[in-house]
Amino acid sequence: MSCAKILRTLLLAAAVLFVLSPEARAHEGAHEHGRIELQSATGTPIVELSPSPEGFTGAFVIRNVGVGPLDVSRVAVRTSPTDPRTPPGITVELEGGRPSMRIPPGEARRASITWRTLGARAREVYGQVLVESDAVSLRDDEPMRPAALGIHAERSQGLGPLGRHSLSVLLVLPLVGALLALLARLARRNDPRWLGASTVITHGANLALAAWLCTRFDRLFSRADGNDGLQFIERATLLPSVGVELFLGVDGLSIALLASASLVAFVAALASLSVRDRLPAHHGLFGLVVTGALGVLVSHDLFLLQAFWLLAGVSASLLAGLRGGEARRRASIKLLVASLASSALLLAASVWLWKNADPTYLASGQAVVRSSAIPELARVAWVGKGAQIFGWNAVKVLWVALFAAFALRLSVVPFHGALLDAHAEAEAPASALFTGILVGLGVYGVLRLDVGVLPEGTQWAAVAVASFGVANLVFGAFCAMAQQDLKRFVAWISIAQMGLPLLAIGAMTPQSIQASLAQTAVHGAIAALLALLAGALETRAHTRDIGRFGGLATEMPRFSFLFALALLASLGLPGLAGFWGPLLALLGAFPRHRALTVAAGAGMVVLAAGHLWALGHVIFGKVREEWRASKYLEPFGGKFPEMHGRELAAALPVAIALIILGLFPRPLLGLVDKASLELHRLVDRPGPSQIAASPEPAAPNREQA
């Protein structure tokens, strides 16, 4: 027999054995099953529910595109009592009301979706319908998951299309101001009135929209009401192959900070009317900083949040170097290095979390191996994975990396130098943005990712976080006492005040978590007001030496009133908005960290002494005679000129807010109540000295999600 015949015989025998093998029979049998394809009744990639007398209805088609029959065993909304992803009242029904059905090859059947909105708090739905069947996966290396199709419905929010896309508009408006500045630069038109007016109008519109969001925000809305506790959701697929989405929304963690940031941006825009040089660069970078900061607060996709985080940091560093003191370039470089280091740490942690996330679905219903949506990452049982990084427990390593990233933005000692110098050297509008908005993003990041995604890591590091907070408070208080430079004094008291949110987070009680949010929101407004007032005084005296001032109450009564109001609110005087955050922080932390709370109280006494010392040196006493002959005050008859209209317009909104929220704190505290309780459920159980959590469904089981 020739070699060719022998080879053909062996190949034929191998083929026969393969066909008769169990694996081959199973593989062949797989092709006898149907293949499932889902499509909305209108042909769109997502089912858009339409209004009906009951609420909303819609339909989709289940099509068998395989060669064998398709057995559909169940259709249901992707939700559960322990993990209510979607609002209650949504049901799915197969054609004819049957619980299951068989679909022949090439045929299709309809299924209907109904959302009965009676009793539902949610005003929108972004979810998925799951269809379980005997269809096989097209990939041999991937187990078959139920097919899914996205569903969306939205009840009227008011304001028409503007209300439906309010968060997108909130991010776009500052970019419009930045674009107008760029066009002015290209057209070589540096008219300060036109550029200043455009910035004020865009940020004024943003403030109005943020106020509308606060009035429409449902303060009783929680995870039990669906949508992961988020409101005003906007969601669309960006990079489906890697699970990245445009995912915007607000909850109790972000709504108060969003309102505070919008207020600070508006008053800083009013203060920018006095800027006269490098106008296009100033107004353009101003808009980018605000867009980046607001984007961080409303983004619920990890990589989208990372992009806004980087945008805010880099834009702020460039803005710090435009004008100001002699050391502004060095301060700008330090802030840029800190921002890049923070973004690098955040990116490294984000990539690891994304790569090790569980399989899930996008808003469109597309099945993905992993997703970067923060609510999906919060469902992963990270401790149960038992993963390690360089031989260390992965949860601990990731928690530390995230905390370090946020500490750089938060100016936690010893990472305080970058923002401290930038605040001291930059002009008043930029300083207001740095201390009034950027610092608060650090606290938000810790709560959103360290506590929300890695609660076990927060439990492990709770004492360290509280200790960092107390160290920040005490160290900042003593450094503030030693300052003669007014702007550095304001920067140090800002750093010291941000120790309270860290102490509160480390305590992990409902009161303390609520305090961290309230203190951060109010601190932003107070710090911005102090920055604007310090800048106004510097423009008149051309010095920041506190020891050279005095007696301004007689020559600048309006300035003195506002300066005293801001300092008293900062030290926590009862009746002003700055009182409630420190009070709740100390009350919430004392049952857990008594020694640290006592140390924090001592630090606050030192800090209060520093406030009163600065107040006395600047406002009370007599005006030094040297100012009578000063060339800077000579045009004003040797007297300090009172605050003019633009300065008052920038300062009064913040001052009024501090008084109102000091007397009536519930509008602020009510915004963060539910979010505080839900974060508390992740990291702790209520004890006898704490506010008991409401009897709502617990957080999802992280081992089963």
At 562, the pLDDT band (50, 70, 90 cuts) reads very high
What would the mean pLDDT of 328-349 be, rounded to a whole number? Answer: 92
Q: What is the pLDDT of residue 610?
A: 92
User: Is the Cβ–Cβ distance between 681 and 702 less than 8 Å?
Assistant: no
* pLDDT tens, residue by residue, 271-310: 988 877 777 888 889 999 999 999 999 999 999 999 999 9
Q: Which residues contact 239 (CB under 8 A, 6 or more apart)?
A: none
Task: For residue 361, give Cα distances in angstroms to 452, 529, 550, 583, 662.
Answer: 20, 45, 64, 43, 45
> Which of 54-68, 384-398, 630-644 is least confident?
630-644
At 413, the pLDDT band (50, 70, 90 cuts) reads confident
- Alpha carbon distance 31, 516 (integer Å): 58
Q: Which residues contact 686 (CB under 8 A, 6 or more apart)?
A: 510, 680, 692, 693
Q: What is the pLDDT of residue 2?
A: 53
> Which of 7-11, 477-481, 532-536, 572-576 is least confident?
7-11
User: Is the Cβ–Cβ distance between 410 and 443 less than 8 Å?
Assistant: yes
The angle at the Cα of 385, spanning 384 to 391, to the nearest 5 degrees, equals 115
- Alpha carbon distance 511, 181 (integer Å): 44
Q: Which two tokens stand for residue 231?
A: 């409101």
Q: 653 or 631: which carries more pLDDT confidence?
A: 653
User: Is the Cβ–Cβ distance between 309 and 292 less than 8 Å?
Assistant: yes
Q: Which residue type does 424 have?
A: A
Strands 147-154 and 46-48: parallel
What would the mean pLDDT of 635-662 be, rounded to a whole number? Answer: 88
**Rounded to a whole number, what is the largest CA-CA distance in the chain?**
122
- Alpha carbon distance 312, 436 (integer Å): 13
Q: 700 or 513: which carries more pLDDT confidence?
A: 513
Q: Which two tokens stand for residue 185?
A: 């630069």
Q: What is the pLDDT of residue 551?
A: 85
- Over pLDDT 70: what percentage of the chain? 90
Q: What is the pLDDT of residue 190?
A: 67
Q: Which residue type does 524 have?
A: G
At 703, the pLDDT band (50, 70, 90 cuts) reads very low
Q: What is the pLDDT of residue 646?
A: 86
- Alpha carbon distance 72, 96 (integer Å): 14
* pLDDT tens, residue by residue, 502-530: 999 999 899 999 999 999 999 999 999 99
Cα 272 to the chain's mean position, in Å?
A: 26
- Alpha carbon distance 75, 145 (integer Å): 13
- Alpha carbon distance 120, 399 (integer Å): 36
3-state secondary structure of 247: strand
Q: 556 or 628: which carries more pLDDT confidence?
A: 556
* Residue in 504, 528, 506, 525 with CA at minimum distance from that of residue 515: 504
What would the mean pLDDT of 333-349 be, rounded to a whole number? Answer: 93
For the chain, give the mean pLDDT. Answer: 86
- Alpha carbon distance 500, 410 (integer Å): 12
pLDDT at 342 over 70: yes
pLDDT at 688 over 50: no
At 5, the pLDDT band (50, 70, 90 cuts) reads low
* Residue in 671, 677, 655 with CA at minimum distance from that of residue 568: 655
* Residue in 417, 512, 414 with CA at minimum distance from that of residue 471: 414
Q: What is the pLDDT of residue 26?
A: 40
> Which of 185-199, 273-287, 451-465, 658-672 is least confident?
185-199
* Residue in 449, 459, 517, 473 with CA at minimum distance from that of residue 671: 517
Strands 244-250 and 70-77: unpaired
User: Is the Cβ–Cβ distance between 485 and 540 less than 8 Å?
Assistant: no
* pLDDT tens, residue by residue, 669-682: 999 999 999 999 88
DSSP codes, 164-227? HTHHHHHHHHHHHHHHHHHHHHHTT---HHHHHHHHHHHHHHHHHHHHHHHHH--TT--GGGSG
Q: What is the pLDDT of residue 21?
A: 45
Strands 50-51 and 55-64: antiparallel
- Alpha carbon distance 149, 59 (integer Å): 11
What would the mean pLDDT of 60-77 be, rounded to a whole number? Answer: 90
Q: Which residues contact 23 (CB under 8 A, 6 or more apart)?
A: none
What would the mean pLDDT of 250-258 be, rounded to a whole number? Answer: 94
* pLDDT tens, residue by residue, 422-431: 888 888 898 9
Alpha-helix residue ranges (DSSP H) falling in 356-393: 374-379, 382-385
Residue for token pair 């009070």: 583
User: Is the Cβ–Cβ distance between 445 and 345 less than 8 Å?
Assistant: no
DSSP 485: B
Q: What is the pLDDT of residue 204?
A: 94
Q: Which residue type does 114 have?
A: T
CB atoms inside a 10 Å sphere around CB 544: 21
Backbone angles phi, psi at 92, to 5 degrees: -125, 140
Q: 267 or 2: which carries more pLDDT confidence?
A: 267
pLDDT at 603 over 80: yes
pLDDT at 337 over 60: yes
DSSP 612: H
Q: What is the pLDDT of residue 220?
A: 92
Q: What is the pLDDT of residue 32?
A: 66
Residues pairing with 360 in the sheet: 368
- Alpha carbon distance 528, 537 (integer Å): 14
Q: Which residues contact 510 (CB under 8 A, 6 or more apart)?
A: 588, 676, 677, 680, 686, 690, 691, 693
Q: What is the pLDDT of residue 548?
A: 86
Q: Which residues contact 138 (CB under 8 A, 6 or more apart)?
A: 35
Task: For residue 694, give Cα distances in angstroms to 681, 691, 699.
Answer: 10, 9, 12
Q: Which residues contact 204 (CB under 8 A, 6 or more apart)?
A: 266, 269
Q: Which two tokens stand for residue 553?
A: 């109450």
pLDDT at 69 over 60: yes
User: Is the Cβ–Cβ distance between 200 and 298 less than 8 Å?
Assistant: no
Q: Which residues contact 33 (CB under 8 A, 6 or more apart)?
A: 66, 68, 69, 70, 134, 135, 136
* Omega of the bond leading into 81 within 30 degrees of 0 (cis): no
Backbone angles phi, psi at 372, to 5 degrees: -100, 10
User: Is the Cβ–Cβ distance between 349 and 402 less than 8 Å?
Assistant: yes
> Which of 134-148, 169-183, 589-603 is least confident?
134-148
At 685, the pLDDT band (50, 70, 90 cuts) reads low
pLDDT at 690 over 50: no
At 343, the pLDDT band (50, 70, 90 cuts) reads very high
Residues pairing with 114 in the sheet: 57, 91
Q: What domains lie within the chain, and their CATH numbers?
A: 36-154 (2.60.40.10), 161-373+385-683 (no CATH)
Q: What is the pLDDT of residue 372?
A: 93
User: Is the Cβ–Cβ distance between 435 and 491 less than 8 Å?
Assistant: yes
* Omega of the bond leading into 192 within 30 degrees of 0 (cis): no
User: Is the Cβ–Cβ distance between 194 and 177 less than 8 Å?
Assistant: no
Q: Which residues contact 211 (CB under 8 A, 6 or more apart)?
A: 259, 262
Q: What is the pLDDT of residue 698?
A: 45
